[in-house]
Chain A
Amino acid sequence: MSEQLIPRLRNRVVDPRPGRGVWHSHRAVWTVLALLLILIANRLISANFFSITMVNGRLIGSLITILDGSAPIMLLSIGMTLVIATKGVDLSVGAVMAICASAAVVMVNRYEAGATEFYYTPGVIILLAVGLGALCGLWNGILVAVINIQPIIATLILMISGRGIAQMITSGQSPTFTNDTLAFIGRGVLFGLPFPIYLYLAVLIVVFLLVRRTALGLLIESVGVNARASYYAGINAALVKILVYMVSGMCAALAGLVIAGEVKSADPHKNGEFAELDAILAVVIGGTSLSGGRFSLVLSALGVLIIQSLLTGLYVSKLHPTANLVVKAIVVLLVLLLQSDEFRNRLTRLVRRSS
């Protein structure tokens, strides 16, 4: 009896899993609430924020723009969520976007120039680009899991060298392209909606099934919470880590292709610039702790939407553009405070005391 009661009372630990415990302890509640508040704020700034119209078989509206613009970071957030759940971080995703996009654009231009080898066909080129992303992830994974370099340093190596590799691939240029297949990934429209949205949903479903319908999700969380105990329990922690970095690399490859398709060029400098920071931020806003453990792919996506809606609101508002970054930082801070149990408890106590 005492064994059961005392620890329960002493540390009021709240089960971090969505769907358990009292309602206000769900991280999901606060993430959704934050998104709703930002959307409402957007509506107050511009009256037609929620309106969606059909123009030339294509849905047009702020919400669609937000979804479309979120797609690259949402793709990154999938891999980043898994990496962070293992107590790692992947700083190289922006650079990997540039590498894979550069490679794809250079190859597709050879195809357009008449190269006939089978690997110079657009479909194969896309697969090769994703494979290249997986290879980058494998490199990161080996540095982290086999050579035991801290993730932040291990992935910093590729973050820095990756831009150089991308420049070498494009011979220092920012080549443009005309190939429609590659462009479709970034600017195509399917059933009235931008193609990147479908791409994101497809990857989300595949990865979700991979982690939640197999034991992989449990093993990722276990390794993230306590790698040593997991190893003692017979989990191949190294393999789990390598895999999540590979998923992250593949997600980055697809995100790079989306950006390249959008602007119809490969820019080794601009493609994916600072994308890693937005992806990490989104994952944290989505409630996955940087100290590893429980994760939610869907909440990370909501984190991206929060950031993107915020940016959209700022562009539309009359605020001077120079203030954008500061306002973004303040709102992100507010969102994180809203999610913090500690902060809410203190706030509640403060309100009680004054009343």
Chain B
Amino acid sequence: MTVNEQPQAPLLEARGLTKSFVATQALSDVDFTLYGGEVHALLGENGAGKSTLIKVLTGVYRRDAGTILLDGVEIEPGNPRHAQELGISAVYQEINLIPTLSVAENIFLGRQPTRFGLLDQRAANRQARELLKAFHIDIDVTRELSSYSVAIQQIVAIVRGVDLSAKVLILDEPTSSLDRHEVEILFSVIRSLKKRGIGIILITHFLDQVYEISDRITVLRNGQKVGEHRTAELPRLRLISEMLGRELTDELSSQDKSRARTESEYEDFLEVRGFAHHGKIEPFDLELRKHEIVGLAGLLGSGRTEIAHLLFGIQRHDKGHAFINGRRINLSSPQKAIRQGFGLCPEDRKAEGIIDALSVRENIILALQAKLGWFDYLSLKRQRELAQEMIDALRIVTPDAETPVSQLSGGNQQKVILARWLVSNPELLILDEPTRGIDVGAHAEIISIVKRLAKEGKAMLVISSELAEIVDYSDRVVVLRDHKKVTELEGDQISENMIVQAIAER
């Protein structure tokens, strides 16, 4: 369902944008059209190519192929500053302003002398006040920026961007740290920008806001454009299926899952009652059982990783209790969670998983050694045995156990982190996006390892954006939406359609 050509000429038109990095194709042949005076939502899951597209448009990256036309003229933004001069400004989630300078100084930073010859603070203050007033924001512009709320800081950043002659304004997750009232203020600013004919590209993971403010939507997935729609004509269900890469069908259960395991085989392990962390995840109950794989589904930012972090003690829960065999347990740090037999393969493998300068062997024995303590040092011989055992069992491709783990491919690094937990023999494994950024072969292997571990009696909690994958291995699926657990699907209920519907319901 593509939108018919609008009467006016496009403000920004990108054709066939392509960008690849060493190992991945981040954008392939993407078209994108923005009209003046519209809010255009750019949607997609992690790795869909949203930020690459933005970075190509603002000159952070050089495109490999394709053309960008602004007002019908081909442009070649070389860096963000150049893009700004051309009329494309971006405001990011982390505000790129200087908190200790005044609001006015921030708005005019780097431009004062050329305007006034000498620094004319009073004129700058007056102009800043006028600029903000145009958006019905009346604040003391001489106060430090940091003394204002994030919303005001965000708006100051927008005013600065717009005053830099913007024709196109890109807002990257502008509302993720704002409350409802602040979002209203921001939206009223966006609406007045629309009236001025500025084209706005909005990236957000709040679908309610997409429907509230945007005129059109472009959906990206795996570096490709999968759809361009008028917001009013796009049902929410269809949007989510496009984002998650799932064609809607009429039958409820699209896959015939033969579930070998039965209820009786499961063995209770962890019971969580009313776990919550204010502002991150609302209270939820969760039971995890041995021999069972529980899939955690939801859009990016729905609270999936937060649940993993609460269970593993990385983020402290501020409400609720956890029990094993009816006994209350303390999950206030990773060390304590590990003592209860938990293991976590984190989402960001490089920053939170591997210790890159250490060898495969050292990475594999690390958690076990940490558990044993300093003085119960595994002999080098035992370390080598354990590492070799895991290299064979998980088919880790590495020259030998002494190779630095940084030299392995992503899939093999993921296996090393899995191995790290397996040698310490956990009861519960939490895997956060275990297959992200992994090539196809290793992908299938990781999934078969997940299934095997459940068969061997581990309790498994697996987070994934890949619906097909979740449906394939899950015995139960917990669905999250907007920081809230909305439902649990079991047995025949588990299908991509059901998950998409649960995410879309409101």
A binds B: yes
| CB of B273 closer than 8 Å to a CB of A | no
Are A8 and B358 in touch, CB under 8 angstroms? no
A227 and chain B: residue at smallest CB distance: B355
Determine, out of A170-178, A211-219, A303-311, A341-349, the stretch whose residues face the partner at the interface: A211-219
The distance from the CB of A82 to the nearest CB of chain B, in whole angstroms, is 13
Chain B contact residue count (CB 8 A cutoff): 45
Q: Which residues of A does B touch, CB under 8 Å?
A: 3-4, 6-8, 10-11, 13, 15-16, 20, 213-216, 218-219, 221-222, 225-226, 228-236, 293-294
Are B399 and A4 in touch, CB under 8 angstroms? yes
CA distance in complex: A131, B121 (Å): 58
* CB < 8 Å neighbour of B357 from A6, A218, A225, A232: A225
- Please, what's the 1-or-0 string for B170-211, where 1 marks a CB less than 8 Å from any CB in chain A? 000000000000000000000000000000000000000000
* CB < 8 Å neighbour of A293 from B335, B357, B376, B397: B357
Are B358 and A225 in touch, CB under 8 angstroms? yes
The distance from the CB of A290 to the nearest CB of chain B, in whole angstroms, is 14
Not counting A3-B409, A231-B334, a sample of 12 additional A-B residue pairs whose C-beta atoms are within 8 angstroms of each other reads A3-B412, A3-B442, A7-B408, A15-B404, A214-B374, A214-B377, A218-B362, A225-B358, A229-B354, A232-B353, A234-B338, A234-B370
* CB < 8 Å neighbour of B369 from A6, A7, A218, A236: A218
Write 15 A-B pairs (CB below 8 A) sorted by A numbering: A3-B409, A4-B397, A4-B398, A8-B399, A11-B407, A15-B402, A215-B375, A215-B378, A218-B366, A229-B352, A229-B355, A230-B355, A230-B370, A234-B335, A293-B357
CA distance in complex: A38, B123 (Å): 65
CA distance in complex: A215, B359 (Å): 15
Are B355 and A226 in touch, CB under 8 angstroms? yes
Residues of B within 8 A of A228 (CB): 351-352
| CB of B126 closer than 8 Å to a CB of A | no
Are A225 and B409 in touch, CB under 8 angstroms? no
| CB of B314 closer than 8 Å to a CB of A | yes
The distance from the CB of B362 to the nearest CB of chain A, in whole angstroms, is 6
- Please, what's the 1-or-0 string for B333-351, where 1 marks a CB less than 8 Å from any CB in chain A? 0110010000010100001
| CB of B373 closer than 8 Å to a CB of A | yes
* CB < 8 Å neighbour of A233 from B367, B407, B411, B412: B367
The distance from the CB of A46 to the nearest CB of chain B, in whole angstroms, is 42
Residue of A230, A231, A234 contacting most chain B CB atoms (<10 Å): A234
Are A215 and B334 in touch, CB under 8 angstroms? no
The distance from the CB of B431 to the nearest CB of chain A, in whole angstroms, is 13
Residue of A6, A8, A221, A232 contacting most chain B CB atoms (<10 Å): A232
The distance from the CB of A87 to the nearest CB of chain B, in whole angstroms, is 11
The distance from the CB of A296 to the nearest CB of chain B, in whole angstroms, is 14
| CB of B372 closer than 8 Å to a CB of A | yes
Q: A222-B362, A228-B352, A232-B334 are in contact. Are A13 and B369 (CB under 8 A)?
A: no
Are B354 and A226 in touch, CB under 8 angstroms? yes
Are B351 and A229 in touch, CB under 8 angstroms? yes
CA distance in complex: A235, B365 (Å): 12
Are B377 and A215 in touch, CB under 8 angstroms? yes
Are A229 and B374 in touch, CB under 8 angstroms? no
Are B407 and A232 in touch, CB under 8 angstroms? no
Within 8 A of A (CB), among B408-424: 408-409, 411-412, 420
The distance from the CB of A11 to the nearest CB of chain B, in whole angstroms, is 7
A10 and chain B: residue at smallest CB distance: B22
Are A232 and B314 in touch, CB under 8 angstroms? yes
| CB of B493 closer than 8 Å to a CB of A | no
The distance from the CB of B340 to the nearest CB of chain A, in whole angstroms, is 11
| CB of B472 closer than 8 Å to a CB of A | no
| CB of B406 closer than 8 Å to a CB of A | yes
CA distance in complex: A214, B374 (Å): 6
A223 and chain B: residue at smallest CB distance: B355
B375 and chain A: residue at smallest CB distance: A214
Residues of A within 8 A of B376 (CB): 215
Within 8 A of A (CB), among B372-410: 372-378, 397-399, 402-404, 406-409
Q: A3-B411, A7-B407, A234-B334 are in contact. Are A215 and B374 (CB under 8 A)?
A: yes
Q: A222-B355, A222-B362, A229-B354 are in contact. Are A213 and B404 (CB under 8 A)?
A: no
Residues of B within 8 A of A229 (CB): 346, 351-355
Residues of B within 8 A of A226 (CB): 351, 354-356
The distance from the CB of A171 to the nearest CB of chain B, in whole angstroms, is 42
